[in-house]
Amino acid sequence: MPVITNIEDLRVLAEKRVPRMFYDYADSGSWTEGTYRDNEADFHRLKLRQRVAVNMENRSTATTMVGVPVKMPVSIAPVGLTGMQHADGEIHAARAAAKFGIPFTLSTMSICSIEDIAAATGQPFWFQLYMMRDRDAMARMIERARVARCNALVLTLDLQVIGQRHKDLKNGLTAPPRPTLRNILNLMTKPRWCLGMAGTKRRTFGNLVGHVKGVSDMSSLAAWTNEQFDPRLSWPDVEWVKKQWGGKLILKGIMEVEDARLAADHGADAIVVSNHGGRQLDGAPSSITALPAIVEAVGSRIEVWMDGGIRSGQDVLKAWALGARGTMIGRAMVYGLGAMGEAGVARALQILHKELDVTMAFCGHTDIQRVDSSILLPPHRPEVDRYFA
């Protein structure tokens, strides 16, 4: 087993162990992948101020996200097909998150079901919802999340239509997956993954099959999913979800100040500045460059978080310094899961926390609540173009 010291080590190992079509599903962007690359690259352009002769004892990275205590300002983002990165993947990731002390978000398009996660962890978690044409199915899903003691609902707004992802098309990836000859040959080179999948009964979309009208197996699921993502999604629909749910509502996919204001106006408890990991609108700005203006506009009214491009604890600290009161990680979790299952997710979280904690100390702080944009160069709160010119 190689020595794992950073998220990149986990990515390399995951690429070796996960079948190509599922690895590429998680580790790719739409069209040219320009936005996907910028999400990560723009973090590197932010430079930190090193401070010395500061007492670095008794450090704390603890905070809250929508009232939930967290060990660090990180939650696990919803990622579809997580259970195809590793057998029972959502269960493994949820357990690792619960043990570490951060929230786990289950995707609508997960392999393990809401009920699976509730039974496996015994802990509250978050559930992510897409706006579907079948409102009755949505209402039932929301009720299932309530019964499972989910303590927040994440409504994803930026998937009314699906971006063109060339790798998925070339790999023949569909929902549900239909292995091609090329993919079957690739599976034969992944014995560890195949053995794990042979040992589980969870190989379909657990939140949908048997739970929505007319979907009883994988073949009927394909027709349902192709027509269900609702392109008519509008702000009255957000209000409908808020009313159905009644609890904490997080809106994911905000990239513009105007939409952030509308989110606050329509009852959201938090928003996630997100371009869907560069998987939707290629050519959109990176999430970290979009963050400061949105924080400036609505940060006093609503919790502002971000996701996209986070590969280290330093990235988490930089996002916090620019005003994000929380972050969500997807690929860092997926790499850990694909590499080593639950132990890999736990290792990813340990790495992020250690990097966050040590970097905060080098910047002269012992409490993340006291960290602000003064840790970045230049040492004053700038407009976004002054950081990314």
Half-sphere exposure of 365 (CA within 13 A, CB side): 21
- Position 386 confidence tier, pLDDT thresholds 50, 70, 90: low
Query: Which of 384, 263, 366 has its CA nearest to residue 57?
Result: 366
Is residue 374 situated within a structural domain? yes
3-state secondary structure of 211: coil
Is residue 30 situated within a structural domain? yes
The first and second tokens of residue 334, run together, are 């997926």
Query: Which of 309, 275, 310, 312 has its CA nearest to residue 290?
Result: 275
Q: Known binder of ligand: residue 165?
A: yes
CA 89 – CA 340 distance, rounded (Å):
10
Query: Which of 169, 159, 176 has its CA nearest to residue 221?
Result: 176
Mean pLDDT over 14-35 rounds to 96
Tell me the CATH number at 220.
3.20.20.70
CA 353 – CA 17 distance, rounded (Å):
25
- Position 380 confidence tier, pLDDT thresholds 50, 70, 90: very low
Number of domains in the chain: 1
Q: Known binder of ligand: residue 330?
A: yes
Is residue 1 situated within a structural domain? no
Q: What is the dihedral of CA 350, 354, 357, 362, to 10 degrees?
A: -170
Q: Which of 276, 353, 365, 380 is catalytic?
A: 276
- Position 384 confidence tier, pLDDT thresholds 50, 70, 90: low
pLDDT at 211: 87
What is the domain extent for residue 276? 7-388
Is residue 291 situated within a structural domain? yes
Q: Known binder of ligand: residue 128?
A: yes
Is residue 181 situated within a structural domain? yes
Q: What share of the chain is helix, strand, coil (3-state, %, to 5)?
A: 45, 10, 40
Is residue 2 situated within a structural domain? no
pLDDT in tens, 209-232: 888 877 776 667 667 777 888 899
Q: Known binder of ligand: residue 294?
A: no
pLDDT in tens, 83-139: 999 999 999 999 999 999 999 999 999 999 999 999 999 999 999 999 999 999 999
| Mean pLDDT, the chain, integer | 93
Is residue 66 situated within a structural domain? yes
Q: Known binder of ligand: residue 156?
A: yes
| Known catalytic membership, residue 276 | yes
